[in-house]
Structure formats: C-alpha cells, structure tokens
Amino acid sequence: MTLLSVRNLDVTFDVSPRGAWPWTPPLKLQAVRDMSFDLEEGQTLGVVGESGSGKSTLARALIGTVPATGGQILWSDTDLRKMSPRDRRRHRREVQMVFQDPLAALNPRMNVGQIIAEPLITHKPDVPAKEVRRRAGEMMERVGLLPNLLNRYPHEFSGGQCQRIGIARALILKPRLLICDEPVSALDVSVQAQVVNLLKELSREMGLSMIFIAHDLSIVKHVSDRTLVMYLGRKMEEAESRQLVRAPRHPYTQALIASVPIPDPAREKLRERPVLEGELPSPVNPPSGCVFRTRCPKAQPDCAERVPPMLEPEDGHRVACQYQEVISPLARTG
C-alpha cells in the first residue's frame, strides 16, 4: 500500500542579490524541481546527493516546515498542501523527524524526560502525567538508554546518546513515517553504525516507513530498500538500493559510488573510478537542459536543449539520462 506519493514537487525561494537595492526584484532559487516518487508502507527510501542538491529542503517540504511552491504531496490520497491548519496539526502526529545535529536539536533547558515526552504532551494532552513518564522511560529503553537517566540534561550525554534521545522523542507518538535528515553525519564512524542499526531495527519492529537522507551511499544501501539520487534539486536516478550500487546507470551516480572506497585493496584496484570535476552550479542560475551536463563526461550538445525525461524500463530502474551506460563498480580501468 502506498503511504506517500510526491508528484512534480517544486520548492522555490526568493533571494535578494548581495548589495542590491531594496526595490531590486528578488532572484528565484530553485531548491527542488519536478520531484516525484512513491513510498510504500514499511519501506525505507534513501535520498543521496552532494551538499546543495536539495535533500534537506525536500525533507522539510514533506514535513511542512518549508512551503512547497508547486506539485502535490499525497498522504494516503490526501493532498497535504490543501489541508487546513487543524488537519495539518493532526497529521504531524503521523510524521516525525530526526535532525542532523543531535545536540542542537535538543532544548538545553529541558531534561531528557521532558524532551522525549514533549510531543506526547503537545499532541495528546489528555494522557496522565504518570503515563507520560512511563512511556518516556519505555522509549529510553527501546533506543538503548537507561530510564534512570530521564532527569539528566543533554550536555551530559555524548553525540550518539543525544541522537538516540532525538530518535526516542520522534518515535514516542508511534508515527507512520520517520524522516531522518542526515542523522549520522555529525557522529563518529563507530557510532554511526550503532545508530543506523538502531533505526533499521526500530523500523522493522514498529512497521515504520522511513526517508533516510545521507551523503554516504554505503550507509544508504545498508538501511534503505530503494534509493533516490538528487542533483541540483532534480532526481537523477532511482532504483532498488542494491541494484543501484551494483549497476549504476547515471554518470552522476557512478561518480558518487566511485568516491566510496572499498576496504579490499584488490577489488579497489580493479574498479573504474569516474572523476567528478568542477563545482556544483548555483541553483539561482542552473544550467539549461540537463542540470548535470556542465560536469558530465558524457555530455552532448543536445543535453543543453531540454530536460532529459525520466526513463522507466521494466526493471523499475529510473534514470534521467539518454546516454546512460551501466558501469560495474568492479570494471577494470582502461
């Protein structure tokens, strides 16, 4: 069953040029363009791309903290953009978010018990205080922390422990969708694996759907069922995660995978490593046609003429490139 359907979603911001006069018309920053995907019940969708590709803006548009300027966000066939404020507030019980910086996401003036219980008190004020504290203690245990730490404050915990507290706060309402905006990028490598495994275990136990945003394709492959690759606000490729890593078709995806080292030196020497040159173009003035063409090693003159359509072959591997070519990660270099 489809839980979330996004159709042709656009998010555009008005940006004033530096040093411009007050009456100068603002520039249009296109953060997300023509984004479409489906998320099934219990499925995890990974979203990857460079910094500035629009991943976090997409997450915030889905949860409602950033207004979408076009398209549809369908939650069980209901368009979230057309919801009344009251219905939107009720909907927020079913969608929660885990943020990138675990310590900055927690109120330093509140103890851990108050932080975890805050969503429950806000959305279900009729629950007795004793029951609220009991549920907060249960969530502490569920994320691997001792319930007797409820009276401590965020600064007394490590980064990994703070992220576990953030996960407990997000899950206390038992949402149907959890959006994780780069939840492990600020953590040590050893702690990253613990948090990723925790999220994967909790999603399986609670039947959660997840949108997991990250830079590292190896982490996304481990936690997600499908992966969506973004570049300059547009979708470049989407496929089943293992299939995407095993046989990437878009030149941008191939470059992202090539940047992830393989811990086996023999395999590392055998694989082809496409080099991604140049800087990410400005979203205020994106390239015409295919937005990736200015950095693409396979770009042709007609790539500047039109936006490439999303090709959808029978295997469900969607690619926005007419010059796509499968390159195995283990292919020998010439």
One-letter identity of residue 135: R
Kindly list the distances between the CA atom of residue 257 and the CA atoms of 34, 42, 67, in Å, as whole numbers in the listed order.
24, 26, 32
Every domain of the chain and the residues it spans: 2-16+25-248
Q: How far apart are CA 55 and CA 136, in angstroms?
A: 31
* Residues 155-182 pLDDT 10s: 999 999 999 999 999 999 999 999 999 9
* Residues 2-44 pLDDT 10s: 999 999 999 999 988 877 788 888 899 999 999 999 999 999 9
pLDDT at 262 over 80: no
Q: Return the ∠ at Cα 309 (arms to 11 and 276), rounded to 5°.
A: 75
What global pTM score does this model have?
Answer: 0.90
pLDDT for the residue numbered 274:
67
pLDDT for the residue numbered 216:
82
Kindly list the distances between the CA atom of residue 42 and the CA atoms of 73, 131, 282, in Å, as whole numbers in the listed order.
18, 28, 36
Structure tokens at 331: 């292919």
Task: Write the DSSP assignment of 46-111 as a string of letters.
Answer: EEE--TTSSHHHHHHHHHTSS---EEEEEETTEEGGG--HHHHHHHTTTEEEE-S-TTTTS-TTS-
What is the enclosing helix (H) or strand (E) of 7?
strand 2-15
pLDDT for the residue numbered 37:
95
Q: Return the ∠ at Cα 151 (arms to 148 and 156), rounded to 5°.
A: 95
Q: How far apart are CA 320 and CA 287, in angstroms?
A: 15
pLDDT at 228 over 90: yes
Domain range 2-16+25-248, CATH architecture: 3-Layer(aba) Sandwich (3.40)
| Residue 56 backbone dihedrals phi, psi, to 5 degrees | -65, -35
Any idea how long the chain is? 334
| Region class of 279: left (phi > 0), else alpha (psi between -120 and 50), else beta | beta
Radius of gyration of the chain (CA): 21
Q: Return the ∠ at Cα 57 (arms to 53 and 63), rounded to 5°.
A: 145
